Amino acid sequence: MSSNQSTEKLSFASLLDESNFGEDAIEGRVVTGIVVALRNDYAIVDVGLKAEGLLNVNDIKALKGVDTLSIGDTLEVFVERFEDRNGEPILSIEKARREAVWKKIEVHMESGSVVEGFIIGRTNGGFSVDISGTTAFLPGSQVDLRIVKDITPLLNVPQPFKVLKMDKTRNNIVVSRRAVLETARNEARSEIISKLEEGMIIQGIVKNTTDYGVFVDIGGIDGLLHVTDMSWKRVASPAEMVKVGDSVQVQILKFNKDTGRISLGMKQLVKTPWEGVEQRYIIGDRYNGRISNVTDYGAFVELEDCIEGMIYITELSWLRKNVHPSKLVSIGDEVEVVVLDVNPAKRKISLGLKQCQENPWRQFAETHPIGTKLEGVVKNITEFGIFVGVTELLDGMVHISDVSWNSGNKDDKSKDLQKGQQIEVIVLDVNPEKERISLGIKQLENDPRAGIELLNDQKGETVLATVKEVHMAGVDVTLENGLPGFIKKENFSSDRMGQKSDVLSVGDKIEAMILGVDKIARVVNLSIRGLEIKREKEDLEKFGSSQESGARLGDILGLAMKEKEDSQNQE
C-alpha cells in the first residue's frame, strides 16, 4: 500500500470515529465516503466498512454538478443496507442528497423562515413544488392571497414558500406561498398605515365592487369608497362608474389606526356643485327637472348635473296621498316643481309637485263661500262626526255637534243617517292650509231653542210651565215661550201639601223659579221648591220674624247654597 493510500485510510478512520458510527448503527444513515478508485462508469467508495460500495459516476457528477470526478473526492452517501449477498454495502447518493434537503427544510420550518422552490405542475387539490430536488405539496388555497385562475406565469419560476407541515414517514411536505405573501403584505401594511393621514390624496386599484361601495387597494391595504362618496350626483350602482382593476385617485376621509378601517372619497376631489345653490334655487320659485329615482317615501328630481331635490310623498299630490309614489311619477318624467326649502349644509333641496297645481281646497273655498248649501254623500260615520263627499275628490266633515240641534238627546236625528245616503249640508268653514272643510246639517234649520242661553241672565225669575213628561229623575216641562225645562226630583215642593212628582200630570200648569241653563243639554233648569222658599223669604222680610218663618230659615239658606252650586255647574 502506498503512503498516500495509508494517509487516506487514516483520515477516513478519524472521520468515522468522529461520527461515532459503528457497523451496527450506520445502516439507514448519511455518512461521508471517499472515492478510492474509478473503474469504467463506477466509483468505488469507502465508507469505513469491511467492503467498499459502488456508485454510478454520472449520477455523482449530475448531483454534485461537476464535470469530473477524482480519486480522493469525498461524498455524502446514504447507507441503504449494511451489506448485500456479496458482502458489499448498498449506497445511494440520491437519498443522501434528499436527507440533506429534509434537514434543511426542517430547519426552515422550525425557524419559520422561507425556503425557495419551483412550482412544477398541477396535482390533485393543488400543485407540486420542487425544493432542491425534493417534491412538496402546495394546496390550491395557499397559492396566492386571492384565487388565481391562471397559474402559468408562476410555473418554473423561483418562489418563496413557508413550510407548514412535514411527515417523513409519509414523505409528505406541505408548503404555502400565500403565508409568505401575507407576511409581506402585513409588513407593507404596517409601513403604509404609519404614513397615512386624513385628507391625503392617494392612487389605488379597484379590488372589488359591491352594492354599497368599492374596495380600493391603496398599496397593500384596503379602503372603502362608499357609494355616496363616489360622485356628487346619485349613483345607482358603483359598477356604473368603476370596474375591478381600474386605477382611481381617492382621498382619505377617515382613518382609524386601531381598527385599520379607512374611508375613501372621490367626489371630494372636485368642487362641490352645492356651492351657491341657495342663490340658484329660490324658495317659492318654479323649476323644471327630471325624475331620477322613486322610493317608498317620495321621488328624487335631477335639477342639474350632480344636484338633486326631493319630493316627499306628501308633496306629490293634493289628494292621492295613500298611493305609492310610483303610481304618480316614473323615472325619466320631466316635471315642474316648486322649491320648498334649501339646505346647503345638508345638501338638501325640498321640492313640491302638487304646488304647481291648483289647491283643490282653495278652489273649493272660492266657489263655495261660507253658508253655501250643497248636496253630498255620506262616506263614513264615526263617533266624532260624519264624512261627506262634497265633490268627486273632496270630503268635508260634519262634527257630531253640528248634525242636529238635539245632538246627544234621545230625539237626535243623527242616528238615522246611513253610509251612502244623499244629504244636504251647509258650508261652515274651509281651511286650505289644513286641507279641511267643515260642514253642518243642523244649520239648515232654525234653532228651535234659539235664545235659551239668555235665560242664564234671568236666574231667580218666576216662569209658568206646562208638564210635558213625568219620570223617575224629575219632570220635563215646556215654558210659555216654547223652550224646554227640567225640574229635578229634589227641586219639587218642600211643603208636604205642595206639588210633588207623584201628583203632577201631563198638561198641568206650574210655577217654578229659573236656576240656570244646561249648555250641553240646552235645557232650562227649574225649581218649585226654590220658588216657595223665595216667596217665604220675601214674606219674612215683609212681615217680620215668626216661629214658622224661623223654622224655614234653614231651607232658605240651603236653597241659596244650592242656587250658587247650580250656577257654578252651569258655567
For the stretch 96-110, pLDDT in tens is 777 777 888 888 888
For the stretch 25-72, pLDDT in tens is 666 677 777 877 888 777 777 777 777 777 777 777 767 666 777 787
More confident residue, 352 or 445: 352
Mean pLDDT score, 248-262: 87
Count Cβ atoms below 10 Å from residue 326 Cβ, excluding itself: 12
For the stretch 377-436, pLDDT in tens is 999 988 888 999 998 889 999 998 888 876 554 445 566 788 899 999 999 999 998 889
Domains and CATH numbers, the chain: 3-99 (2.40.50.140), 112-182 (2.40.50.140), 196-269 (2.40.50.140), 280-356 (2.40.50.140), 360-444 (2.40.50.140), 453-570 (2.40.50.140)
- Confidence band of 315 (pLDDT split at 50, 70, 90): very high
More confident residue, 282 or 556: 282
- Confidence band of 331 (pLDDT split at 50, 70, 90): very high
Residue 355 has pLDDT above 60, yes or no: yes
Distance CA 504, CA 198 (A): 97
Report yes or no: 335 and 329 within 8 Å, Cβ to Cβ: yes
Residues 6+ apart with CB under 8 A from 165: 109, 172, 173, 174
Distance CA 26, CA 80 (A): 9
Opening angle at CA 439, ends 436 and 441, nearest 5? 165
Per-residue model confidence (pLDDT) at position 26? 67
In the structure grid, which three cell numbers stand for residue 213, read together?
361601495
Question: What dihedral do alpha carbons 107, 110, 112, 113 form, nearest 10°?
Answer: -10
Q: Cite the beta strand spans of 86-169 per DSSP E.
A: 90-92, 114-123, 126-131, 134-139, 158-167
State the average pLDDT for the chain. Answer: 82
Which residues is 350 bridged to in the sheet? 310, 341
Which residues is 265 bridged to in the sheet? 251
Per-residue model confidence (pLDDT) at position 531? 87
Residues 6+ apart with CB under 8 A from 72: 8, 34, 35
Report yes or no: 453 and 491 within 8 Å, Cβ to Cβ: no
Per-residue model confidence (pLDDT) at position 294? 93
Distance CA 267, CA 230 (A): 5
Report yes or no: 12 and 34 within 8 Å, Cβ to Cβ: yes
Mapped onto helix, strand or coil, the DSSP state of residue 151 is: coil
- Confidence band of 21 (pLDDT split at 50, 70, 90): very low
Mean pLDDT score, 450-467: 83
Per-residue model confidence (pLDDT) at position 249? 93
In the structure grid, which three cell numbers stand for residue 410, read together?
234621545
Mapped onto helix, strand or coil, the DSSP state of residue 114 is: strand
Distance CA 311, CA 293 (A): 11
> Which has the minimum average pLDDT: 121-125, 134-138, 232-236, 310-314?
232-236
Tell me, what amino acid is at 334? E
Mean pLDDT score, 220-228: 89
Per-residue model confidence (pLDDT) at position 297? 93
Which is nearest to 311 in space by CA: 323, 327, 329, 332? 329
Tell me, what amino acid is at 305? D
Q: Which residues of 221-253 are buried (b: 16+ CB within 10 A; e: fewer)?
A: bbbbbbbebbbbeebeebeebbeeeeebebbbb
Report yes or no: 71 and 33 within 8 Å, Cβ to Cβ: no
Per-residue model confidence (pLDDT) at position 275? 86
Residues 6+ apart with CB under 8 A from 475: 467, 468, 469, 486, 487, 492, 501, 504
Helices 528-543, 553-570: crossing angle, 10 deg rounding: 130
Opening angle at CA 258, ends 254 and 261, nearest 5? 40
Distance CA 302, CA 21 (A): 90
Per-residue model confidence (pLDDT) at position 410? 44
Range of 66-80, 439-453, 522-536 with top mean pLDDT: 522-536
Mean pLDDT score, 282-286: 94
Q: Within its chain, how far is the Cα of 75 from the centroid?
A: 74
pTM above 0.75, yes or no: no
Distance CA 568, CA 571 (A): 5
Dihedral sign for Cα atoms in the order 112, 113, 117, 121: positive
Mean pLDDT score, 531-547: 74
Distance CA 35, CA 45 (A): 5
Q: Is 205 exposed, middle or buried (0-12, 13-18, 19+ CB in 10 A)?
A: middle
Per-residue model confidence (pLDDT) at position 496? 43
Q: What is the DSSP letter of 103?
A: H
CA distances from residue 73 to 37, 69, 78, 333, 463 in whole angstroms, order as listed = 10, 7, 16, 92, 151
Q: Which residues of 166-196 are buried (b: 16+ CB within 10 A; e: fewer)?
A: beeeeeebbbbbbbbbeeebeeebeebeeeb
Mapped onto helix, strand or coil, the DSSP state of residue 207 is: strand
In the structure grid, which three cell numbers stand for residue 357, read together?
297645481
318 — phi, psi (to 5°)? -70, -35
- Confidence band of 560 (pLDDT split at 50, 70, 90): low
Q: What is the DSSP letter of 399?
A: E
